[in-house]
Amino acid sequence: MTDNKRNFAEALQHPVFGTIRDIIESTGEEAYVIGGFVRDLLLSKKSKDIDVVVVGSGIALAEKVAKHHRGAHLAVYKSFGTAMVRLRDAEVEFVGARKESYRANSRKPIVEDGTLEDDQNRRDFTINALALSLRAETFGDFVDPFGGYDDLKNGIIRTPLDPVITFSDDPLRMLRAIRFATRFGFTIEDNTLNGIQQTAKRIEIISKERIAEELMKMMTAQYPSMGFKLLDKVGLLEYVLPELKALKGVDKVGGRAHKDNFYHTMTVLDTVAAKSENIWLRWAALFHDIGKPRTKHYDERLGWTFHNHNFVGSRMIPGIFRRMKFPTDERMHYVEKLVDLHMRPIILSEDEVTDSAVRRLLFEAGDDIEDLMSLCEADITSKNEEKVQRYLRNFKIVRRKLKEIEEKDHIRNFQPPITGEMIMDSFGLAPSREVGILKNAIKDAILDGIIHNDYTEAYELMVKKGAELGLKLVKEQ
């Protein structure tokens, strides 16, 4: 079934395609390269994953292909009927053409052997159902039963079959639709979009790990906001990230409204994304205001306030990361820290920029100070251009001061010269409140510029403050 005259033989340069062609010539089988590889080829994007579908046994073909390539590594997944051949520069996945049917409560289908057409029918989108023949006599011929080529050229995401059935069978496809739309800047066709809207609730049967994987891919897009706006539009956001949904909307009291924090967040996210590929900085941008709904308050004098929303927001991060099966290691702590500190440079720039405030900020942000400054600059989205310019000017001063003070005092990776151990040793103390008080007094004195970041000065201060607390030295250092 070659319903399209196009031929892409010249794009099938990788030697594995020739190997497959020769093997199936002797067995008389049909095999095709299909899915993401073909799509990315037409989008002129390089793809390292090659998916091959064979009308026959995928495992048997993979075994033969692996024998032909020196250094090839073969992995067989018997229970899935698939196999993977890892070559030096490509991963090739083999699967027998299959027909799938679904039951209500699972995204695991009943699988039977099928034709290429059956196999294309089970693909999620027209642009992911494109195939190129690997048979000698039709090598490189394009097989496109659903008009995927046109959809690709027009930038359209569409399911090959009835969208409600497609999404209901495997609700993960709803997130894949949004992920592809976001990554390629494509439009989800109306009927397909309606299908997602009708099926949104079924996302509940999808594991958090799979959802996380899609969101992570979405987050790498040039304009990640598109994905979150789409999630909202189709009614998935409340299932996936209810904390973001809660940012939506504007309240008004006595004619005074606050800004819509969801759309503000979307702008901040894209601004940060334009500056940095760091996906965790992007997550920090997405979550920077999630404390706002819980801290929102109307005050006759001040208007709308969100007092402490940065701190409240940062305390919400571990719960979200655990629920979403995101990593709960230093990457999570980084996001917590940025959310917590995101108001600091703004507050700093509103006042006179003192050395001691700058030292404190450097101390708390450490090596993430640049990322924090990017987030804060992105956070200034006022419609009042004069206000924006004023902030950006002040930020320049903050940045200059940060640089000056870091060069002078090396606060970024600063460790106080007197440790808790030394304090305990000197005064014969067990771990106690006093140790903390003394440690903080030394740290504060250094950050405030009262003493230098120096052992002798810090030691003298410790002795003096200890005496004030009624402590006696038991050991001179």
* Type and span of the H or E element at 303: strand 303-306
Of 424-463, binders to ligand ATP (CB under 6 A) are none
CA atoms within 13 A on the CB side of 385: 0
Residue 194 identity: N
Of 94-123, binders to ligand ATP (CB under 6 A) are 123
Least Å distance between CB 214 and ligand ATP? 9
Contact partner at residue 109 from Mg ion, ligand ATP, none, CB < 5 to 8 Å by partner kind: none
- Rounded to whole angstroms, the Cα distance separating 174 from 206 reads 11
Least Å distance between CB 195 and ligand ATP? 14
Instruction: Please report whether residue 36 would count as binding ligand ATP according to CB under 6 A.
Output: yes
**Three-class SS state of 416:** coil
Residue in the block written with tokens 């940025």: 338
- Rounded to whole angstroms, the Cα distance separating 79 from 353 reads 64
Question: In the complex with ligand ATP, which residue's Cβ is closer, 42 or 316?
Answer: 42
Backbone angles phi, psi at 105, to 5 degrees: -105, 20
Of 48-77, binders to ligand ATP (CB under 6 A) are 49, 51
Cβ neighbours for 272, distance < 8 A, ≥ 6 positions apart: 281, 282, 284, 285, 374, 375, 378
Least Å distance between CB 175 and Mg ion? 15
* Stretch of 17-25, 31-39, 233-241, 303-311 contacting Mg ion, by CB under 5 A: 31-39
Least Å distance between CB 123 and Mg ion? 12
Q: Give the chain's end-to-end CA distance (angstroms, integer).
A: 87
Question: In the complex with Mg ion, which residue's Cβ is closer, 180 or 391?
Answer: 180
Instruction: Please report whether residue 243 would count as binding ligand ATP according to CB under 6 A.
Output: no
330-341 vs 369-379: helix crossing angle, rounded to 10:
50
- Rounded to whole angstroms, the Cα distance separating 174 from 167 reads 6
Question: In the complex with Mg ion, which residue's Cβ is closer, 50 or 435?
Answer: 50
Q: Do the beta carbons of residue 174 and residue 196 sit within 8 Å?
A: yes
One symbol per residue from 162 to 191: x for binding ligand ATP (CB under 6 A), - otherwise; what is it? --------x-xx--x---------------
Question: How many helices (DSSP H) and strands (DSSP E) are in the chain?
Answer: 24, 15
- Rounded to whole angstroms, the Cα distance separating 135 from 124 reads 25
- Rounded to whole angstroms, the Cα distance separating 461 from 459 reads 5
One symbol per residue from 193 to 212: x for binding Mg ion (CB under 5 A), - otherwise; what is it? --------------------
**Closest by alpha carbon to 81, among 110, 106, 107?**
110
- Rounded to whole angstroms, the Cα distance separating 454 from 458 reads 6
Question: In the complex with ligand ATP, which residue's Cβ is closer, 69 or 183?
Answer: 183
* Stretch of 46-54, 98-106, 123-131, 220-228 contacting Mg ion, by CB under 5 A: 46-54
Q: Do the beta carbons of residue 340 and residue 317 sit within 8 Å?
A: no
Question: In the complex with Mg ion, which residue's Cβ is closer, 36 or 449?
Answer: 36
Least Å distance between CB 215 and ligand ATP? 13
Taking CB under 5 A as the criterion, the residue among 2, 3, 43, 49 binding Mg ion is 49
DSSP conformation class of 473: -
Question: In the complex with Mg ion, which residue's Cβ is closer, 177 or 247?
Answer: 177
Q: Do the beta carbons of residue 275 and residue 389 sit within 8 Å?
A: no
| Number of residues counted as binding ligand ATP (CB under 6 A) | 11
Taking CB under 6 A as the criterion, the residue among 58, 61, 114, 124 binding ligand ATP is 124
Least Å distance between CB 281 and ligand ATP? 22
Instruction: Please report whether residue 36 would count as binding Mg ion according to CB under 5 A.
Output: yes
Least Å distance between CB 387 and ligand ATP? 42
Residue 351 identity: D
Question: In the complex with ligand ATP, which residue's Cβ is closer, 131 or 237?
Answer: 131
Least Å distance between CB 329 and ligand ATP? 24
Least Å distance between CB 289 and ligand ATP? 30
Question: In the complex with Mg ion, which residue's Cβ is closer, 179 or 443?
Answer: 179
Contact partner at residue 158 from Mg ion, ligand ATP, none, CB < 5 to 8 Å by partner kind: none
Which pair of tokens denotes residue 57? 């046994």
Instruction: Please report whether residue 151 would count as binding ligand ATP according to CB under 6 A.
Output: no
- Rounded to whole angstroms, the Cα distance separating 212 from 218 reads 10
The residue at minimum Cβ distance from ligand ATP is: 36
Burial (0-12, 13-18, 19+ Cβ within 10 Å), 47: middle
Question: In the complex with ligand ATP, which residue's Cβ is closer, 221 or 442?
Answer: 221
The residues of the shown chain that bind Mg ion, judged by CB under 5 A, are: 36, 49
The residues of the shown chain that bind ligand ATP, judged by CB under 6 A, are: 35-36, 49, 51, 123-124, 128, 170, 172-173, 176
